[in-house]
Chains A and B, each alone.
Chain A
């Protein structure tokens, strides 16, 4: 009998530690499927960051290194420069990691047009440390460190990373996607595929921002989290292609 569905070879058999309803797992799987479909697993080295996804090196079925908080784009730069051109390097970073402590590293990796792929998981919160405000936390959103809701006057306004990086000349491809339903997951996978394919073709810096859930720290059920993502997070961070200077063949 021909199997109609199999596990992707891009992930190990290790059960993940993610909370029920957390979409980190979905994003892992989409990334892994793309690596498998592009036959890149054996030539890929990933960079795990600091956040709930820190153990990503146990889950992705490729070589992985683990970076200090926020420094994954710098680590990826060193890796990519040390490896031969046929090797694929990606970072997998949360919004606290990438948009707060690591904002300098991501901007400069993008400006240098490093030929890496950045997978940016935006759940508008610090998941791992217990739900504190992230730079991406929405105005009015309650977190452990904004108990009355984030106020633009005292805590500033959300940082829109995809839009910001798109102002640079360096990056080749920047897209924001969501994973709150089947249709959007497929779009997300398409974006990831375009990014990895572009890297393989030596195009340069590619960046996919994925809006993601954190039921545990949002204080919502998995289903309500998906709804909140599609209603509120997508409204503040509109999905779409923010930059694309790839050649036609790559697209």
Chain B
């Protein structure tokens, strides 16, 4: 296996292609533009389709069209454009169409800036559009993991017939890291959508329709109940988290995505100074890995949540632990990225309050 030195945004593009996604619809926005350019170059080489849409709104609706035909389709953007895609994501959820949406998040609100941020967590994990729905949200913290989670996003989309969000940020999108693609000689097996996809009746079956409309209230309630069953199943089966130093940690820092990298360095540094701290890193943000947290509740009196936001994931952490655990927060906003020393200092500060077991 050859190691390639690649930029984060390009890694997502290559990973998508290798996951069997040959339909991409994009619109330029920093810090994700390299992904659009990568697809424009690579997809024609693979006989795939790249369209630079006239807007993020159009791009997500092109995805809706391609997904209606049963192919793996993807679009990507950064925060302001991710907001524009929400209507389309709601329609995808309502019509139960599989698709992958990448958000290389940046500072907000409004036009904000082009620095990395994690302030789209609520929007991503609460079904950012209208209606009762969720989308699975995956948050890689290295470029190698980005490859795995891009493939995983398509798997989840296919299996559960749902839009899936890959949530990274400007840091992961712009950084370069060596990666290995596990190229296999067999083509990717994608879920067969033969029983619902629109390809024309061929004159041999009844016509099908794909829609999120259901005028009858009891009909729409039934559809919603079915959706909720699906979300419950996803919640039970698809929680993902990594725990570092679980064996001997007295307490935990928790962080996801790019800031989890920094937090991990800070945790290691603190351990070298005799602080028995560990790290919980959610990989799936929805479903939130509540089971991981509740299992660790026994061991810990305190969890320090570190985010590049005013505190969004912290709500989910609080919902996952019982009231005996004190949940404290450290955050930076507006594109400010905490460095390892900064987080180390916060860990040392908070370690004083942790009773030794």
Contact = CB atoms under 8 A, between A and B. Distances in A.
In terms of DSSP, what is the predominant structure of the interface of chain B? Answer: mixed
Given A54-B213, A68-B87, A71-B58, A63 B200 contact: yes
A193 to B, nearest CB: 19
Given A71-B61, A82-B49, A66 B95 contact: yes
Contact of A105 (B54, B71, B203): B54
B25 A61 contact: no
Contact of B65 (A12, A63, A79, A108): A79
Interface stretch (A37-45, A92-100, A152-160, A226-234): A37-45
Contact of B25 (A45, A76, A78): A78
A65 B51 contact: no
A71 to B, nearest CB: 4
A126 to B, nearest CB: 18
B209 A75 contact: no
Contacts of A62: 200-201, 207
Contact of B64 (A42, A44, A67, A81): A67
A196 interface: no
Contacts of B355: none
Contacts of B95: 65-66
A63 B208 CA distance: 5
A65 B69 CA distance: 9
Contact of A64 (B55, B62, B73, B198): B198
A105 B64 CA distance: 14
A41 B201 contact: yes
A201 interface: no
Contacts of B15: none
Nearest to A68: B91
B202 interface: yes
A108 B63 CA distance: 16
B53 A66 contact: no
B48 to A, nearest CB: 9
Interface residues of B, number: 40
B199 interface: yes
B213 A66 contact: yes
A19 interface: no
Interface in A2-50: 12, 41-45, 47-48
B201 A82 contact: no
A123 B59 CA distance: 29
Contacts of B61: 67-68, 71, 74-75, 78, 105
A219 interface: no
B354 interface: no
Contacts of B25: 78
B66 A81 contact: yes
Interface string A98-129: 00000011011000100000000000000000
Interface string B110-123: 00000000000000
A218 interface: no
Contact of A45 (B23, B62, B63, B69): B69
B66 A66 contact: no
A57 B213 CA distance: 11
Contacts of B201: 41-42, 62-63
Contacts of B260: none
Contacts of B246: none
A79 B208 contact: no
Contacts of A12: 207
B210 interface: yes
Contact of A78 (B54, B63, B199): B63
B343 interface: no
Given A74-B62, A78-B73, A82-B73, A63 B209 contact: yes
A61 B69 CA distance: 17
Nearest to B90: A68
A121 B213 CA distance: 21
A87 B200 contact: yes
A66 B210 contact: yes
Contact of A65 (B71, B202, B204, B211): B211
A87 to B, nearest CB: 5
A66 B62 CA distance: 12
Interface of A: 12, 41-45, 47-48, 54-55, 57-58, 60-68, 71, 74-83, 87-88, 104-105, 107-108, 112
29 contacts: A12-B207, A41-B201, A41-B203, A42-B200, A42-B204, A45-B69, A57-B209, A62-B201, A63-B207, A63-B208, A64-B207, A64-B211, A65-B68, A65-B198, A67-B64, A68-B91, A74-B58, A74-B61, A74-B65, A75-B64, A79-B65, A79-B69, A81-B62, A81-B65, A82-B69, A82-B70, A83-B200, A104-B54, A104-B58
